[in-house]
Amino acid sequence: MVAAGPAATETELIACARTRYEGRTVLITGASDGIGVQIARLVASAGGQVVMPVRNREKGERVRAGILEEIPDARITLRDLDLASLTSTHALAEALVADGAPIHGLVLNAGVVLFGDRTRHVTGDGFEMHLQTNFLGHFALVADLLPLLIASGTRIVAQVSLAAVQGRIRFDDLQSERRYSALRAYRTSKIALGLFGVELQRRGARDAHDGRGVTVNLCHPGIAPATAIAPPIRAMLPRGVVDAATRHLGNPPEQAALTAVAALTAERPVAAAPSGETTAAEAGVVSADGATADGAPADRASPVAAMPDLYAPSRWFGAAGPPRRRAPFRTMTDPDAAAQLWNAAAALIAPR
């Protein structure tokens, strides 16, 4: 039986993904850059119908053409989306709801990181750039789509970051107005995205009925030198240590994308082991023959847990390697903070 554990190859993960997503729709934000391109390629390889919301159509068309060159029968649809604009976010959601087609997987992957720029950038909606692009835009999109997602039984995957292993949400300064640094703003946005996933999973479990409802997993790609994920890590550690890590231990985008695919594929989130780390195979990832890792049919997988799982690289403290299931970072596991953040975000994006 093929299972998507830490030693799983890309081929094995695609086989697992095919069981769940062949002929089904997966929407991936940020799929025209870096890791997002590779997530889209992997889902397309598994026979999934990929929806790519993009800010730059020309760039999106180039990525689509590249995937089609490798996978001629790939089904990829472009949509317009600028997460730094609530108008754009609402417009995409309205179009998807009007279409009425189910969305079986949703990867909240898009993000911005502005390291090296000491200027606090504000979007046209008046929000700090990291907060809106990485978190609030995704929050608004999911909120608008939630009835459709519940009806579709959507698996939602939120792409967080190793930068979120430290820090905390400051509810009295969510937009980093008092003492701005790009690292702090980025970290806040990624912790917020993780807390959003925790609250969304709780609500999904509460609202599930007739076998339908959203389930949520988190993932992070480790240290991926070819993307914007490395700068936050570089900002936290001695330069020599991180330079060596990115040269010798960093995850290339092709491997960094596997954590998102593992998070998409896991049949249902289950409670993490007390140690905080369990292999993805042990977590009940669906195998190529449609069974979970323990051999049970997929429809008898473990009940939905109150807490999402985090799929992260398995080596060098999460910097690199194949995906492994573990507990979410402690910075994003407080259910009270998750509920408070949900309410704060809803108030921020409410019509004025």
Tell me the catalytic residues: 186
Which neighbouring-strand residues pair with 238?
A: none
Radius of gyration of the chain (CA): 19
Phi, psi of 129 (to 5 degrees): -60, -45
Edge-first strand listing for the sheet containing 49-54: 75-80, 49-54, 25-28, 105-108, 155-159, 215-219, 310-315, 320-326, 277-278
C-alpha distances in Å from residue 269, one per residue of 14, 142, 210, 309, 336 = 19, 19, 18, 6, 20
- Residue 132 φ/ψ, nearest 5 degrees: -75, -45
Report the alpha-carbon distance of residue 306 to residue 310 in Å, rounded: 13
Please count the CA atoms within 13 angstroms of the CA of 223 that sit on its side-chain side: 24
Query: Which of 86, 185, 172 shows the shortest CA–CA distance to 126?
Result: 86
Cα separation of 299 and 297, whole Å? 5
Residue 84, C-beta contacts closer than 8 angstroms, at least 6 positions apart: 112, 123, 124, 125, 129, 132, 133, 137
Structure tokens at 207: 């609202």
| Selection from 55, 47, 78 nearest residue 65 by Cα | 78
Sequence-separated (6 or more) residues with CB below 8 Å from residue 112? 84, 129, 130, 133, 134, 228
Cα 124 to Cα 82, 86, 121, 133, 345, distances in angstroms: 11, 9, 10, 12, 17
Tell me 83's DSSP state.
Answer: T
The CB density around residue 10, as the number of other CB atoms within 10 Å, is: 17
